[in-house]
Each structure stands twice: as C-alpha cells, then as structure tokens.
Amino acid sequence: MAFGRSSRSRRSVEPVTLKILVAGGFGVGKTTLVGAVSEIRPLRTEERLTEAGRPVDDLDGVEAKTTTTVAMDFGRITLREDLVLYLFGTPGQDRFWFLWDELAQGALGAVVLADTRRLGDCFAAIDYFERRKIPFAVAVNCFEGTDRFPPATVREALDLDPEVPLLTCDARDRPSARDVLVAVVEHALSRADRGRAPVTARVP
C-alpha cells in the first residue's frame, strides 16, 4: 500500500474549451491578434498578394499589406486553469466568406475587429453575427497615426446595440488582445445565463 496523498487529489482539472471567432475586414489585424495571444505556434494560411488580386483586394488605407489569409488562422490561449479558448481567425475578403459558416459552427462568440480608416469593412461581420445570434464584441484596433474617436461616436457609426461591448485595443499587444477576448467570453456567458443555456464557465 502506498502512503501519502491520493493520486485522485492530484488529478488535473479538465478545462472547459470554448471556440471564439476573430473577424473583421481585410487588413484589420485578425492574424496579428491571434498570433499575439496564442500560447502555441499559430496556424496561418497566408498567401502573398499579387497583381492579379488588386482588382478585388481593396488596399486603400492598408497599402503596406503584402499577405492575406485565405482560409483561417488558429491559436489557443488558456485564460484560467479550467478555461481554454480556441481562436479561429476568419478571412476578410468577400470571396472567402463561404468559409464563415463552417468556422462559426459551435462558436461561443466572436471578436469583430474594426479599423477607423475603413470602418465600413466590419459591417458585414457585424451583420453576420447579428443574424445568427452569435454574441460578439467590437474592438477598434488602434493603428499608429490613425484618428481616435470617442466610443459613443464609433458605436453610433456602427449602429451597435447598447449591450454589445465596444473596446479599443492594440492587436499586437498580448494583454490588450487578451482583454478583448475576456470581454467577449463574459458577454457571451452573460447572454447564455439570461437564456438559461448550459454554459457554466466564468472568467476571472
């Protein structure tokens, strides 16, 4: 007979895993955000932009962009010992939107990244999640040299419901990006509680 603490008391906690989408327009910083927070080497499906794509890829405001996501980005972050997020970054161009339905299956919620230089580019993502009743938060990615607007102005321009979280972030900065993900999870779980959905995880 072995003495000491039971091995059952040392059993690791089985984490709850939640799926979060990171969406938004072309060049808004989705790949950057996933890469900034992921604790594993992120999966990326980027291809170089070519002259052939210029007629369909609007580079106004993001002229320095040289690559684009053609399928998805994937990463993982542990928010707590018993809570892990799997992140799926969606492609931004219209011609890849057929992938969204598959990526959205089983998602708890979503981040919609916005760029004030091209604010209209995130309308499609907002409409998509609203129609499918997927909880989301909007995060304005603060690019260097861009104008800053009061949250109320951005909320009005995007015609957001009052309950939708609106934040500013730096998609390159891990703590800033993590705060956005926490806001999405808290918002989604709050809605689930109101609808008595069987989701019990809580974010500290």
What pLDDT digit, counting tens, does each position of 14-48 carry? Answer: 899 999 999 998 889 999 999 999 999 887 654 45
Domain spans, the chain = 13-194
pLDDT at residue 59 greater than cutoff 70 = no
pLDDT at residue 153 greater than cutoff 90 = yes
Q: Average pLDDT of 181-198? A: 85
At 33 the three-state DSSP class reads helix
Q: Whole-angstrom Cα distance, residue 62 to residue 93?
A: 14
pLDDT of residue 144: 85
Assess if CATH 3.40.50.300 describes domain 13-194: yes
Q: What is the model's pTM?
A: 0.77
DSSP letter for each residue of 134-200: --EEEEEE--TT-----HHHHHHHHT--TTS-EEEE-TT-HHHHHHHHHHHHHHHHHHHHHTT-S--
pLDDT-derived band at 170 (thresholds 50, 70, 90) equals: very high
The CA-based dihedral angle spanning residues 153, 180, 38, 120, taken in that order and rounded to the nearest 10 degrees: -20
pLDDT of residue 91: 83
